[in-house]
């Protein structure tokens, strides 16, 4: 259950995520990684969205400094280079396949601890091109930040390659996103767990959300 999950996002986290992305976030069930200052770096999305759609991409990189730096790597051809190395280096390919398997395992654990349960439609499907290609470095870096070093070799490499712009030991949050005015807060995700609530309780929650949106 979310209430006993230390990784569950707070309302303040969700607001920060929305500001980082410039849009309301949806179906965020955990914060996958945080800055040394405590701000979210990675949003963990439910393996099944609240509209019922299976969602294989668990980790979403949200910190603008990191996403921009990773985009630079992508623009510089790093993904093609990595995919070629996977074809030529069986040891790297094996470690990358293990990363894929770790991703799937963690995703099903997240599904369990957040009350979503198994999502058989995406069994064996991870993200970012895993297990044999590199299609999105943001996905791999998100995985590395959430899992820690040594799990996703190519995510770790990409993180090392952006050290000029961002490193885990230093906060780069100041000025990285707009903190003035309203956060894009319409249609916020299921930070309030709605399963198990009565219709009356759900109505009360909705009214509460409308009120807080109307403030200021
Ligand atoms: Zn920070």
Classify residue 73: in a domain, yes or no: yes
The answer as to whether 32 is a domain residue is yes
- Is the CB of residue 50 less than 8 Å from the CB of residue 42? no
Paired strand residues for 44? 30, 59
Domain range for 58 is 2-190
More confident residue, 207 or 69: 69
| Within a domain: 215 | no
CA distances from 48 to 58, 60, 76 (A): 10, 15, 33
Span from the CA of 45 to the centroid of ligand 1 (angstroms): 21
pLDDT at 151 over 90: yes
- Is residue 50 in some structural domain? yes
> How many Å lie between the centroid of ligand 1 and the Cα of residue 63?
9
Q: Is pLDDT above 70 for 159?
A: yes
* Ligand 1 midpoint to CA 19 (Å): 14
46-60, 83-97, 149-163, 176-190: which range is least confident on average?
Answer: 176-190
In angstroms, the CA 186 to CA 192 distance is: 14
pLDDT digits 0-9 by tens, 48-95: 999 999 999 999 999 999 999 999 999 999 999 999 999 999 999 999
Backbone angles phi, psi at 65, to 5 degrees: -65, -40
Residue 198's CB: how many other CB atoms inside 10 A? Answer: 8
Scan for tokens 């770096």, then name that residue. 41
**In this structure, is residue 84 part of a structural domain?**
yes
- 17 lies in some domain: yes
Residue 216 located in a structural domain? no
76 is written with which tokens? 């510089």
**Number of separate helices (H) and strands (E) present in the chain:** 7, 3
Domain count, the chain: 1
Is 143 a member of any domain?
A: yes
Q: How far does the centroid of ligand 1 lie from the alpha carbon of residue 141, in Å?
A: 17
What is the model's pTM?
A: 0.83
What average pLDDT does the chain have? 89
Q: In what order do the strands lie in the sheet with 28-34?
A: 28-34, 40-45, 59-61
Q: Which two tokens stand for residue 133?
A: 């290609």
Distance from residue 6's CA to the centre of ligand 1 (Å): 19
């Amino acid at each position: 259950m979310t209430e006993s999950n230390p990784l569950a996002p707070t309302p303040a986290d969700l607001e920060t995520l929305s500001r980082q992305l410039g849009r309301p976030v949806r179906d965020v069930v955990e914060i996958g990684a945080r800055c040394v200052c405590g701000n979210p770096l990675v949003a963990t999305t439910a393996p099944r969205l609240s509209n019922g759609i299976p969602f294989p991409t668990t980790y979403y990189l949200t910190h603008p400094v990191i996403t921009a730096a990773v985009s630079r790597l992508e623009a510089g051809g790093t993904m093609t280079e990595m995919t070629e190395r996977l074809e030529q280096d069986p040891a790297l390919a094996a470690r990358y396949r293990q990363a894929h398997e770790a991703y799937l395992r963690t995703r099903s654990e997240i599904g369990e601890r957040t009350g979503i349960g198994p999502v058989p439609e995406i069994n064996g499907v991870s993200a970012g091109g895993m297990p044999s290609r590199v299609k999105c470095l943001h996905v791999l870096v998100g995985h590395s930040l959430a899992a820690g070093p040594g799990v996703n070799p190519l995510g770790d490499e990409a993180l090392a390659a952006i050290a000029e712009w961002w490193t885990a030991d230093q906060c780069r949050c100041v000025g990285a996103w707009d903190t003035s005015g309203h956060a894009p807060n319409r249609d916020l995700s299921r930070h309030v767990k709605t399963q198990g609530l009565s219709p009356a309780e759900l109505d009360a929650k909705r009214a509460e959300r409308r009120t807080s949106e109307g403030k200021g």
